[in-house]
Amino acid sequence: MSPVLPRRAFVKTVVSSATVLGGVPHLLLAAADKPALLGGRPVRTAPFPGWPVFDEHDEAAVAGVLRSGRWGRGGGPQVARFEAEFGRLMGAQHCLATANGTSALFASLGGLGISPGDEVILPPYTFVATLNVILLQYALPIFVDTDPETFQMDARRLKAAITERTTAIIPVHLGGGACDLDTILAVAGERRIPVVEDACQAHLAEWRGRRVGTLGATGCFSFQASKNLNCGEGGAVLTNDSELAEKCYAFHNNCRGRGTAGYDFTYLGSRGANLRLTEFQGALLLAQMARLEAQSRVREQNAVRLTRLLREIPGILPAKSYEGCTRNAYHLFMFRYDARAFAGLPRGRFLDALRAEGIPCSPGYSPLNEEPFIRATLRTRAYQRLFPADLLEHWAERTACPANRRLCAEAVWFTQNMLLGTAEDMEHIAAAILKIREHAAELAKSA
């Protein structure tokens, strides 16, 4: 194989790449090549593993429900069976399946009696559903800034965000990592404020050997199509509190308690909706769950490999884990991109170049606390009535999150399915980034 590059450039690439790629010749050569965005050959053309994954077992599970004619919860055994198995897998006493992760969070707040006029704490670096359930209860969202090293809520800032009005804290285990539960549970415990863990991205993640989602008052999961355990749309609430379990159940079942079936119209709880999971989804989740542990191990192995490769590249800063995070579910592989180490190549152009090399990637979330729709909501009649004017007036400065804003401008994500591939797939990612770095000045100029 003869390098098409001028010798000087090739040698420079080989030297700077050798430590990263362990001298794998074809990858070194790939990195020396011209960027695909500038007309060169892409590092790879093969797709990454697809998602979802299914086979005849999943087909049989769904078809079985169809043929049974028992499609709704309670009609058949599937949802109850899934609740028992997921609860056991996670190590929680109670599991309530819900229509999706949003309704798991909504039912948790409903079960806890979070009310109009309350304040609820959350991180700004999360999917919008974490926020929406707070607004649905006419509570005031209070954002706590992000720890850019881990992409998680900066728990050191939690205490200062609590007031007399605070009735719940919703920390998020973002990307499948764990937020600092030691600090969060200690601060919340001191003030007897319930913690609703948003574990919608963190199936099988652990904090000090225990599954996340089992340490707060409730833990909420999503089985939406992109999540590590998937049935299209689905969710679950975990709790070890029997009374709270019944309240969440009633909230998700139009105020009807567990024993209430068919035409028994007695009501429990104060408010409710229909947030139930169907038997189709219950059966599909049972089939999908059989793969969860093995898939999680593959993701972990590949994420460890990828971290090892990428942290050697100047300007690429993979998200770190807290010491207490004993297992990461890697729903996302996240890192910060420092353009200064890439000749000032803007992140958007870096992402375009990476995609051109055959590596799908995303810039991730934008600052949620700065969303204009929140301010519009706080100006509505309901919020104006519920909260003192000066409280609403100072809300924006109180919930400003400068570290999160910087993080949102620097973040890059890969999705969980990319981690289901081979060690070579991870090397391709590293090679593509190295190649872009090698040609960063050229890429920046041609933008």
Chain residues in the site for ligand PLP (CB under 6 A) = 100-102, 126-127, 129-130, 172, 198, 200-201, 222, 224, 235
* Distance (Å) of CA 315 to CA 17, 28, 405, 440, 441: 14, 19, 18, 12, 14
Helix ranges restricted to H, 69-194: 78-90, 101-112, 129-136, 158-161, 181-190
Phi, psi of 351, rounded to the nearest 5 degrees: -65, -40
In the complex with ligand PLP, the residue whose CB is nearer, 73 or 305, is 73
CB of 224 to ligand PLP, least distance (A): 4
Identity of the residue, 10 or 365, whose beta carbon is nearer to ligand PLP in the bound complex: 365
Q: Closer CB to ligand PLP, residue 126 or residue 167?
A: 126
Beta carbon nearer to ligand PLP, 118 or 198: 198
Q: Which is nearer to ligand PLP, 260 or 416 (CB)?
A: 416
Q: Which is nearer to ligand PLP, 130 or 295 (CB)?
A: 130
**Residue 349 to residue 67: CA distance in whole angstroms:** 51
Nearest partner of 151 among 319, 17, 33, judged by Cα: 319
Between 100 and 416, CB nearer to ligand PLP: 100
| φ, ψ for residue 235, nearest 5 deg | -160, 175
Residue matched to tokens 């804003």 = 405
Q: How far is the CB of 194 from ligand PLP (least distance, A)?
A: 17
| Shortest distance in whole angstroms from residue 398 CB to ligand PLP | 23
CB of 132 or CB of 301, closer to ligand PLP: 132
d(CA 229, CA 207): 19
Question: Whole-number minimum distance, CB 276 to ligand PLP, in Å?
Answer: 14
- Residue of minimal Cβ distance to ligand PLP: 101
Alpha helices in 113-252 (DSSP H): 129-136, 158-161, 181-190, 242-252
Minimum distance from residue 176 beta carbon to ligand PLP (Å): 10
Residue placing its CB nearer to ligand PLP in the complex, 235 or 282: 235
**Distance between CA atoms of 166 and 119, rounded to whole angstroms?**
4
To ligand PLP, the closest distance from the beta carbon of 212 in angstroms equals 12
Measured in degrees and rounded to the nearest 5, phi and psi for residue 45 equal -120, -15
Separation between Cα atoms, residue 389 and residue 44, nearest integer Å: 57
Residue of 383, 438, 366 lying closest to 135 (CA atoms): 383
Q: How far apart are CA 425 and CA 359, in angstroms?
A: 10
Q: Please give the helix or strand (H or E) that residue 325 lies within, else none.
A: strand 325-327
Rounded to an integer, what distance in angstroms lies between the CA atom of residue 296 and that of residue 177? 13
E strand or H helix at 206 = strand 206-207
Whose CA is closest to 365, among 130, 180, 46?
Answer: 130
Which residues face 362 on adjacent strands? 413
Q: Which is nearer to ligand PLP, 350 or 365 (CB)?
A: 365
Kindly state the smallest distance separating residue 170's Cβ from ligand PLP, in Å.
Answer: 9
Nearer to ligand PLP, 161 or 231 (CB): 231
- The nearest distance, CB 130 to ligand PLP, in angstroms, is 5
Nearest distance in Å: CB 70, ligand PLP: 24
Q: Which neighbouring-strand residues pair with 147?
A: 152
**Terminal alpha carbon distance of the chain:** 31
- Among all chains, which residue has been given the structure tokens 């079960």? 111
Residue type, 137: Q
Q: Cα–Cα distance between 301 and 370 in angstroms, integer? A: 36
Nearest approach, Cβ of 100 to ligand PLP (angstroms)? 4
Q: How far is the CB of 160 from ligand PLP (least distance, A)?
A: 23
Give just the sign of the alpha carbon dihedral 16, 19, 21, 25: positive
